[in-house]
Each structure stands twice: as C-alpha cells, then as structure tokens.
Chain A
Amino acid sequence: KPDEPTSTPGASVPSAGASPVATEAGKKIRVVYIPKNTGNPYFDGVVSGFEEAARELPIEFSTTAPAQPDPTGQISFIKDEIQRGANVLCITPNSPDALNSVLDDARAKGVKVLAVDADFEKNESHRDGAILPTDFDTLGANQIELIGSLMNYSGKFAILSATTDAPNQNHWIAGMKEALKDPKYAKMTLVGVVYGDDRDQKSVTEAEGLLTKHPDLRGILAPTSVGVAAAAKVVESRKVADRVVVTGLGTPNTMRRYLKDGIVPAVALWSPPDMGYIAAYAAVGLAKGELKAEEGVKFQAGKRGERAFGKNGVVIAGPPLVFRKDNVDEYRF
C-alpha cells in the first residue's frame, strides 16, 4: 500500500546541516537544469527545489529548456550551456538516446551530467548519475494497488498513457502488468492501453473512446498528469464519476478541484521539489569531486537528509505521495 505523505516540501525531515560550498577561486559552481520543455508546471516544482538548495549551498543555478518537448530540441541548449560555462548539467531527457554524443562532448570538457526525473535508459554510460523521483520498479505495483483499492479489486479498467515512446511510462506499465499477476487482483481485467500523447485534445478523445468501447468500464488509470486530468474531465462531463474510478499520477494543482468535487478519489505523485533539491546537492558533490556516483555512496542532501547512490548510479528521491480530498490543500505544486 502506498505510503501516506512522509515529507512535506521544505519542512519535516531534519537536515544534517547544510555546509555552504566553499568555492574554488571565488567562483560559484554553476548548475543548469534543462527540463523537457518550458511552461510545464511539473518542472516548475522541480526547479523550486533546485532554487531552495541553491540558496542554501550557495551555487549559481539557472534553468533553460526548449519550448516544445522535442527529442532533439535539448541539444542546442546543452551546447550553449557548455559554452556559457556550466559545471553540472541536470537534464530531464526527452529522449533516452538522442543526446549521447553531445553528452559525451560535455563530459569530455569536464562537465558533470546528471539525469533528473527520467534516466537515459540503456545509455547510462553517457551520464554521471541519475536522480529519480521515486523507485520506478515499484511504482507500477503501487499504482495498481491504488486503483485496485478504489475499485474494490474487481472490474474492467484501462490505462491512459502519454506517448508510446516515453521510457518512464513504459517502465511503469510493464510494472503494472507484472503486478496484476498477483492473485489479489484476479478479478481485475486490464482491457487496454491507450495513448493521449500528453496533449489535451488527444487525451480527451482517447478517454471518451475508452468509455464508448467499454460501457462497463470501472476504472481509468492514467500515470501522467495531462492524461489523468483529461480522464477526470471526461468522466465529469459524461456524469459517470459514480461508476468509473479515475486515478493515476497528477499534480495537486491540476487535480485539486476533481479531488474536492469527488470526481477523482485519489491520485499519487512524488514531490518534484524534493527531487530538485536532492539533485542540486548531488550535483555540487559531483562537481567538487567529493562524490562518486557509485553504488553504495552516501551523501547528505541538506534538510532532506541522507540519500545513497544505488545500482547504475541512481538516487531515489523518495516515496510517492497520495493526494486525497482532505490532504490536497497542504500541497502547492
């Protein structure tokens, strides 16, 4: 069962005391975060975590991104930031493999590269380390448990995903399918996986299509914030919220009204600010050579406490949170 929130952004976990980074030759370390695209509220949350850490450390932090989440759109930003003198590049890749050669260039020039939020799957050798928001291997199972508990472990449900080629999504969906083999879920049937491309119109159309194709559908699981909002919208508009459960991954802001109106009973997400905050500490450690992204290496992530590099140099930021009607107002991202 997924945990109830264990940490509120910017507060609870006692920190082992952040020691301000002493800078070599009076120059602050320059950390740049390149998310998938600009104007995406999810990454605004991540950025706020980076900024919080940047104030504590202190480091020179900036963020930049292409206007659209294009697989190759990040390349020019990486090249430009190297030229502008970045020490660490934190990247949420739009594509796990289109950046290989430019990342190699960066590292050849001594720039550290950290994957944040999503890894360069199968191309891990082209980056130094990765900070993932939560344990991706268990997320799928968590999501199944969430929707299962909401639909009394019985009935048909479908998955509304983002694009067919989003590595995270596919990783989780594989986990979901694996989890469904548990006899506990024997009475639940997955009738299909559809893709809304993270676009409003397409997501809505796909959600509508699901309801048309399966009049007896009991649930829609959408592990993407655009998708889960679209599904909620459709269920509300068709007035079937009483028999179709919508859940998945979504930010409190986009889901707030649906949660409060009882259209959606619960959604899960981790804390994007925590992830940004931890990534910033890891970045500084790597840049100063104090840290090596190797399995078992531990480091102090400011107020969020200790984290460790796991297999493949991956750091897990924390467990997912579950937002419901009664706790959603505690979160602002």
Chain B
Amino acid sequence: MNGFRWRRETPLAGILLLLVVAVSIAQPRFLSPENLRSILLWLPLLVIVALGEMTVILTRGIDVSVGSMLGLSGMMTAMLLRDHPEIPVPVAALFAMAAGGGLGAINGGLVAGVGIPPIVATLATLGIYRGATFLVSGGKQVDDYQLPRALAGWSSDGPFGADIVPYVVWIALLAAVAMQRFLTDSRTGRDWYAIGGDPDGAADRGVAVRPRVFLAYVFSGVGSGLAGLLYASRFGTVNPASIGNGFELLVISATVIGGVSIFGGSGTVAGVLLGSLLLGTISVALAVLNIAETWQSAVYGAVLLAALLADDAMRRRLEREERG
C-alpha cells in the first residue's frame, strides 16, 4: 500500500550509506565483522525504546520518562535475578516488560485518564521513577557476579552458535517487525495515526481515544522495561544512578531524526530504525576513527546537523519532483 510512506525514509538511508562509505575509507576495518557486530550490539536498547517512544509521539504525546522507566524496571529485574537466580531469563524478560508496562500504565493513566499534558506527566515521572530506583535498590548497585550467566549470554551469543548476531539483536529486529505490522495493519495502530492527526476529530469519529493513548504509553513502558533487562544483559552492572540516565534525549533524537513528527500522526518503523542506525553508526565511527576525545562531541553534533540538513534538502527535492 504505502509507496508514499517509504519515500520519506529514502534520503535518510542515502545519508547513512554515505556516512558508512566515508568512514570505511578512513578506517577500512569499520566494515570488519567484529565492528559491524559492535554496531549491531549498540542498537537494541535504543531501537526497542524508540519504537515505544514512537507510538507515544504518534498520538501527539511525548514520553521523557523512558530512561527512568528503563532504570527502574531494569533495577527491579536485576534484583529479582540476583535474589532468585533460579528464575529463567525469559521469565525475567516477561517480568521486566510487565514492570515497564506498569510504569507506562501510570503515565498513560496520568495522560489519558487524568488529562495531564504528556510532557508534564512524564517529566514528573522521570524524577519519580528515578527516585524510586534508588529506593527499591537502597542505593546499591547489582553487580555482574550476582546475575545469572545466561543473561549476559543474550548479548554475546547468537542462535545456532552464530554469535556474530547475538540474541538481543534478534529481539530488537523482531520487535521492529512486529511493530511495523502492528502500526500498519491493526486498528489500534491506525487509530494512533488518526489521534495524532486530529485528537478531537478522532474522538468525534468514534475512535476510543483515551484507551488508545493509554495503550501507547503502556507500549512505551513495555519497550523501556525490556530494554532494562537488555541493559543488564549488555553491561552487567546495574547502578541506580546510571542505568538509563539521560537516555530519553538519545531516544527522542533517534525518533525525530527518523522522521517521526513531534506534532503527531506521522512516522514509520523504518524511519526509527534508520534514525537509530544513524546515531549508532556515528557513535561507533567516532570510536574507531582516531578522533581526539575532546573533538568527539563537536563532531557528533556537526554530523547530526549535516545529516538533518541533507535529509531536509533531499526530501524537498523529492517532493518537488513528485509534484511535477
């Protein structure tokens, strides 16, 4: 169906390709399997949270509490695994998603139920969930040795011994595909676009706006929760101050660069993937090129800006050609 939808992502894909080519010329090992693997490993956390964030932004909302939700549910899951090592990791993953979903439901309740503006509600829970992370953990971190080995395995081993693409990457990919289907083919997905386009109008036309908006926040929470577990898997140490701290900015960057409109109603999974991939590529490229540390932030900002401008220019050109 949506030929026109894919158009939006073409420039971004082009920019990404350009970037990869440029970096590989400067550092041929950028394309080595190990390095591609490290890019892949960089992505799952971001992609999974960004997919949830996207659903919220689609409904004309925003969820700035994702980092804190990731932190709190990651911390709770890590503590659960520490205290009950017998629990299988997939069950812990379900627990993480449920915990995140619960936190998301609180956001959803505040926004869709009480009617608090999204930025205010999630700015508030950003602080509250972060504080709660300290409270439940007593300010103590969960260390690597306290977590089951299978958990770390998710980030280092792949299915059928193909360790080059670890499980976490497959999980993210699966989540993306499922979300793509959900957005294009489910009633809820279509309703999210409608709500973002015109919230009052959607209500008038019989869309159950409140339940749908509520669900978007739950999705965002579930994604953050799952990412909390993946964080524990990837980094081993779960520290109440640092887990997920400031992650929201990265997530919102990836989403918005991927073409999800902050005014709601428009955006695609492909865009979010590309946006995440762009950020991941820049970050990894900065590490493998010999760029002095003090220059990295500036280069990151400059590349981001250049990508934005190029994307904008290319999109305009495409639109012009489309018109005539």
Contacts and interface: CB of A to CB of B under 8 A. Distances in A.
Which 10 A-B pairs give the minimum distances between C-beta atoms?
A209-B287, A257-B145, A39-B241, A208-B38, A256-B145, A237-B156, A200-B235, A39-B240, A212-B35, A195-B293
A246 to B, nearest CB: 13
A204 B241 CA distance: 18
A193 B287 CA distance: 11
Nearest to B280: A205
Interface in B268-324: 283-284, 286-288, 290, 293-294
A111 B35 CA distance: 53
Interface of B: 27, 29-30, 32, 34-35, 37-38, 41-42, 45, 130, 134, 137, 139-141, 143-145, 152, 155-156, 163, 166, 231, 234-237, 239-243, 245, 283-284, 286-288, 290, 293-294
Contacts of A201: 42, 45, 235
Contacts of B27: 212-213
A212 B235 contact: no
A200 B29 contact: no
Contacts of A253: 143, 145
B29 A44 contact: no
Contacts of B284: 205, 208-209
A318 B288 CA distance: 38
B241 A237 contact: no
A73 B30 CA distance: 39
Contacts of A256: 143-145
A254 interface: yes
Contacts of A44: 139-140
Contacts of B30: 212
27 contacts: A39-B137, A39-B141, A39-B241, A41-B143, A67-B130, A67-B241, A195-B293, A200-B237, A200-B242, A201-B45, A204-B235, A205-B38, A205-B42, A205-B284, A205-B287, A208-B287, A211-B34, A212-B27, A212-B287, A212-B288, A213-B29, A213-B290, A229-B236, A229-B237, A254-B237, A256-B144, A257-B144
Q: Interface majority SS on A: helix, strand, loop or mixed?
A: helix
Interface residues of A, number: 41
A258 interface: yes
B141 A209 contact: no
Contact of B143 (A236, A239, A254): A254
A192 B23 CA distance: 19
Given A213-B288, A253-B143, A204 B294 contact: no
Contact of A212 (B29, B143, B240): B29
Contacts of B130: 67
